[in-house]
Amino acid sequence: MSEVSVTKNAEGPAPAADQLVVLDNVNKHFGALHVLQDIDLTIHRGEVVVVIGPSGSGKSTLCRTINRLETIDTGSITIDGKPLPQEGRELARLRADVGMVFQSFNLFAHKTVLENVMLGQTKVRRTDKAAAMTKARALLDRVGVGTQADKYPAQLSGGQQQRVAIARALAMDPKVMLFDEPTSALDPEMINEVLDVMQQLARDGMTMIVVTHEMGFARSAANRVVFMADGRIVEEAEPNQFFNNPRSDRAKDFLSKIL
């Protein structure tokens, strides 16, 4: 099986229309640090890609370049065939198309849960308030926090807040969802409630890029595992192959430490 473009129904090369996120020879430095080195990565529609690797390997930076929280030095990134916009309303729209969920939940503390999920819809998508509210309530129900709608984020557990953050991103009808260690800041007993929501999203066909150390999630939800080290993609493979039979010494070493 090809290690570069494994998709659920892969039969021969996927057509270009199937390519939702394409990074072509992307390089980025922070000063002297070459944090992303010659990154080529294509994410197909409906694909779930889990990115793993040691701390400092560039996983967060990779995610942040895809919704242009970070600029790149060379190479190109396209989303649904279009290059990333540089600024202004186009950029706001890109960030709506590329939902992002961070380790820290980043909800607006002075807005209710419901308002948090309505805000992007009314401001960026220009949805009218009533429609935004209906949609927000439905999404909060979907992630299991419908009864918390009128509370403030601080009144919720970490697991609940993270599910609100997922609902908020989904409210924009994103084309792809990026998750950067979404369960790393959670108490252990709350990890599964967030992973379950992500698992369901994956089953529903959402295109997802997930940075995580949750190998159970990677095994059950990922179509492909991308292993990064020192700013490079060292290895990519379908999860069973990667976990049972990693090829690179870097991946073997990493897996021996975490499994």
Residues that bind ligand ADP (CB under 6 A): 30, 33, 35, 53, 55-61
Residue among 71 and 220 whose Cβ is closer to ligand ADP: 71
- Exposed, middle or buried: residue 109 (CB in 10 Å: 0-12, 13-18, 19+)? exposed
Cβ atoms within 10 A of the Cβ of 129, count?
10
Please choose, out of 58-66, 88-96, 160-168, 242-250, the segment that lies near Mg ion by the rule CB under 5 A. Answer: 58-66
Residue among 115 and 181 whose Cβ is closer to Mg ion: 181
Contact 158, 190 (CB under 8 A): yes
Minimal distance in Å, beta carbon 66 to ligand ADP?
12
Residue among 68 and 135 whose Cβ is closer to ligand ADP: 68
Cα–Cα distances in Å, from 57 out to 143, 184, 201, 249? 31, 17, 27, 15
Which of the choices Mg ion, ligand ADP, none does residue 33 contact, using the CB cut-off of 5 to 8 A by kind? ligand ADP
> To 10 degrees, what angle do helices 188-203 and 158-170 make?
20
Minimal distance in Å, beta carbon 56 to ligand ADP?
4
Query: Residue 21: which H helix or E strand, with range?
Result: strand 19-30
Residue 60 touches Mg ion, criterion: CB under 5 A: yes
Please choose, out of 29-37, 56-64, 138-146, 216-224, the segment that lies near Mg ion by the rule CB under 5 A. Answer: 56-64
Q: Which amino acid is at 171?
A: A
Please choose, out of 53-61, 131-139, 155-163, 214-222, the segment that lies near Mg ion by the rule CB under 5 A. Answer: 53-61
Residue among 17 and 33 whose Cβ is closer to ligand ADP: 33
Cβ atoms within 10 A of the Cβ of 1, count?
8
Q: By CB under 5 A, name the binding residues for Mg ion.
A: 59-60
